[in-house]
A = this chain, B = another copy of it.
């Protein structure tokens, strides 16, 4: 079950992109988003969500009944509706800020940040993610370097490429696209990335520093960094609030809990072995969900006025869509938006933030390596 949580999140979501310093993560001139803008997002409802990731802890029947017509323990009115946290817009702002900084650095010291991506194997989704990262780098002026290795490559080959990038002064960030082929030791390969260029923030030392008081991580993992950045940009207070993080993966749940605690939230981590997950979640002022379970968190799990950050990106069957499926989060959006005060949509919430944070981390790395502020 332990691994299932992480694996589930990895199957359909690309979290393999990184992020940067700590606390107040972006140090650029911040063009704050208007507080609680009334962006409208459109979602269809479906009563039959058959194409999800299975989890014996959370039976499919729960998912099946997720619609606004389903019974809910929480009093909701049809009129009430949460502020939609517009991740797409925030991510666009961040990219623009990153581009401005990159241009300034180039002008002042002639340095252009570089990001190296290593892709092993032929997974189409991974190839798409890598292509998107390359495009994003291009759009802000980061040089990107790509190595594609065959599915049957050896660990040694991958590590050799990492070593070269570790030594290459034009590379400031190194990403290994996950998942790796099964015959490879992910831990060994990820640990080969030198901590100064680990823009994904996945190195255990980095995670330790993130967890420890008085220590600063080199990089904050991109997806949780994006979650907290959304809270910041929408002026949502964290200090002293009760937060529940659903999911305890190394790449989202665990670092998200650390980030919330660093900002003085009182954090509870809910996971697959938690009893009364609904009741505990209902105590939260802030919910961050990252389990990869479509519509798992119902309206009845949400305290009225809570803020919800939905990291899940789960495909569910939908014959009305030309692709045959659509993407939904871990949160039953239609129910939750009537109870919460603010919520991220899926897609268009946390998703676009991950790559924006990767760009931000790569910039941060280049600035740090070249002592540019």
Which residues of A are in contact with B by a Cβ distance under 8 Å?
2-3, 6, 187, 203-215, 239-240, 242, 248-250, 254, 258, 261, 264, 266-271, 273-275, 280
Closest-CB distance, A274 to chain B (whole angstroms): 4
Shortest Cβ gap from A232 to chain B (Å): 18
A3 to B203, CA, bound (A): 25
**A280→B254 contact, CB < 8 A:** no
| A-B pairs with lowest CB-CB distance, top 4 | A208-B208, A204-B208, A207-B208, A205-B205
Q: Is the CB of B208 within 8 A of A211?
A: yes
* Closest beta carbon of chain B to A142's beta carbon, Å: 27
**Are A254 and B212 interface neighbours, CB within 8 A?**
yes
User: A258: nearest residue on chain B (CB-CB)?
Assistant: B211
Compute how far the CA of A270 lies from the CA of B242 in the bound complex, rounded to whole angstroms.
Answer: 10
Best-buried of A3, A215, A273 by chain B (most CB within 10 Å): A273
If the complex has contacts A266-B273, A274-B266, are A208 and B213 also in contact, measured as CB distance less than 8 A? no
Offer 8 A-B interface pairs, CB within 8 angstroms, sorted by A. A2-B214, A187-B215, A203-B208, A204-B215, A207-B207, A208-B211, A211-B211, A213-B249
Most B-side CB within 10 Å, residue of A2, A266, A280: A266
Q: Which residue of B lies closest to A280 (CB)?
A: B266
Minimum CB–CB distance for A35 against chain B, Å: 23
Contacts of A204 in B (CB 8 A): 205, 208-209, 212, 215
Contact, CB under 8 Å: B2 / A213:
yes
Residues of chain B with a CB closer than 8 A to A254's CB: 211-213
Beyond the given A2-B214, A208-B210, please list 11 additional residue pairs across the A-B interface where CB-CB is below 8 A. A3-B214, A187-B214, A204-B212, A204-B215, A207-B207, A207-B208, A208-B209, A239-B273, A266-B270, A266-B271, A266-B273
Cβ of A268 and Cβ of B267 under 8 Å apart? Answer: yes
Q: Which of A213, A215, A240, A264 has the most CB of B within 10 A?
A: A213
Q: A3 to chain B: which residues have CB within 8 Å?
A: 213-214
Chain B residues positioned under 8 Å from A215 (CB to CB): 187, 204, 250
Q: Is the CB of A213 within 8 A of B6?
A: yes
Contact B273–A240 (Cβ < 8 Å)? yes
B261 touches A269 (CB 8 A): yes
Q: Tell me the bound Cα distance from A118 to B261 in angstroms.
A: 33
- Shortest CB-to-CB span from A201 to chain B, Å, is 10
Chain B neighbourhood of A268, CB < 8 A: 266-268
> Closest chain B residue to A210 by CB distance?
B208
A36 CB, nearest partner CB in chain B, Å: 23
Contact of A248 with B213 at beta-carbon distance under 8 Å, contacts A264-B273, A267-B268 already known: yes
